[in-house]
A and B are shown apart, each in its own frame.
Chain A
């Protein structure tokens, strides 16, 4: 990262003609066929599309878990495709927070320890970690649940722990991959309201993949993918918060 200058005026996320193909030769499959996209700090973006439309691929690329086959992905002006595995890990550590459909908490590990995890990788001292993790759990309304392991928590609670883990580091971007996919509608709304709150109150940029139009309603901007390209990119208005 240090080899590249950070352009302060650059958009937070910028994809320039990004393609991604899997496999080789005639068996190759193109998941993205030239996507250009800008997301500014503070936005709340929902990415929608049928399965196979390329929405998961774009999510992995934005999340620095994958790199484009061609084109460029710039995060705060830094060309991610030029970074190696460890540099991308650093970027995830300091800039990104992940929320997954399947919660992806460490089993047999208390909620507090799960939330602490990213802070451990940031190298924070124990006491500071404890305090920040407690605070994050309080923000998602799980003050009294710190000592419980995921198996002792409901799906909604588990996802809230996962959100606490994602925001405890105060990342620039919260990446949510079908965050409500495993929840009933009441819990889904709860989780979405929580994510919306963090977007509005803390200014965390949110990029969320979903196939549920109800959930996309929470976002300011909805991008539809179809066959590896952007089909539509709409700013929604008239949302009451």
Chain B
């Protein structure tokens, strides 16, 4: 019986192809919109994750001051070089411990000047950040030890100050000191947070301390764990060690913060996931509108086919069968719409994903959900018209013109 009913419904849809197509257009668009949104959102999430792990997913960033909330830090004393040395000495499983100190400054070359971030670093910086010099060289041991006036610039600084000319071998001025450029970093591009990672000048930490800051403070320590070492454990160890070294009373909170890049990854991917969900929900509204479209046409169809319903009843169709016929018709229609929408969405999101350089990730789950949802729309919005059809009086229906 149910198979016969589906057959009847298919016959009915075939009888009026254009109208059937226009009826389901709403569902097609709704399903396509939901799937495209969710698929692209998934792609963006993966891309964000990739970008962060390119920064080093086993990276821990230690900063002084307690985090009060996003972007808010309470004041606290800086670290010292000894803190960094202690971390390197006492915590096992570390690949690099890179203390650094930074300041925003204007750098000058000839008549060009550029505001950038100047950082004092040690050679562990390159290991911790998994970043290398593109042209020129890194600092050598004697430069690091003696605090020589040498620096390495990022790609942005190179292009802003030197244009097409090579920076290596030239001297740039930072406030009072002149400093020889010995290298240019590989371009790294924008970070996930939208800052330009290539807009920086690096110099030996000792040079920075003596000639620029005037102290030996360290205001950030970047620690990278060896492969296979749990960053959670390293984080705990660092916290315990610094807690001790900074003489923090046993039951007060730490006045420093150890950030695991994994946590940041999680935070950011969560954000994109929430956004994806929101976009998907907005798209789902169009599915609802599509459902109303189906109900509208089904109601018109019931009125238009009153006579047909009368004929069917005279021939011996029961109320239930007429109800089922119209209900199945609505479900078949909306499922068809769902299928077309899925195909459209897959083609569309593949195209958009490659245009936006976002990975295309096929999400089976959302495809199935969208399809079931479209079928459910058929049930919900088809029921009322179907009931109307089933309750017609056969005599009246036969008389209907």
Contact = CB atoms under 8 A, between A and B. Distances in A.
B311 interface: yes
Q: Which of B7, B11, B307, B317 has the most CB of A within 10 A?
A: B317
A90 interface: yes
Interface residues of B, number: 24
B196 interface: no
Contacts of A65: 313-314, 394-395, 398
B72 interface: no
A121 B321 contact: yes
B19 to A, nearest CB: 12
A91 B307 CA distance: 20
B395 A121 contact: no
- Counting chain B CB atoms within 10 Å of each CB, the highest count among A92, A105, A123, A165 belongs to A92
Given A65-B395, A109-B15, A123-B4, A86 B319 contact: yes
A191 to B, nearest CB: 19
Interface string B304-334: 0001101111111111110000000000000
B318 A106 contact: no
Nearest to B307: A104
A178 interface: no
B340 interface: no
A92 B398 contact: no
A38 interface: no
Interface string A60-72: 1001011000000
A118 B315 contact: yes
A94 B315 CA distance: 9
Interface in B376-401: 394-395, 398
B8 interface: yes
B316 A89 contact: yes
A104 to B, nearest CB: 5
A86 B391 CA distance: 11
B355 interface: no
Given A100-B398, A106-B311, A90 B4 contact: no
Nearest to B14: A108
B315 A121 contact: yes
Contacts of B68: none
Interface string B1-23: 10010011001000110000000
Contact of B314 (A90, A98, A109, A122): A98
The 9 A-B residue pairs with the shortest CB-CB distance in the complex, in nearest-first order: A93-B316, A92-B316, A89-B318, A108-B15, A86-B318, A118-B315, A104-B311, A98-B314, A65-B394
22 contacts: A63-B314, A65-B395, A66-B395, A86-B318, A86-B320, A89-B313, A90-B316, A91-B316, A93-B315, A93-B317, A94-B316, A96-B316, A104-B310, A104-B398, A106-B308, A106-B311, A109-B11, A109-B15, A118-B315, A120-B7, A121-B316, A121-B321
Interface of A: 60, 63, 65-66, 85-86, 89-94, 96, 98, 100, 104-106, 108-109, 113, 117-118, 120-123, 165
Interface of B: 1, 4, 7-8, 11, 15-16, 307-308, 310-321, 394-395, 398
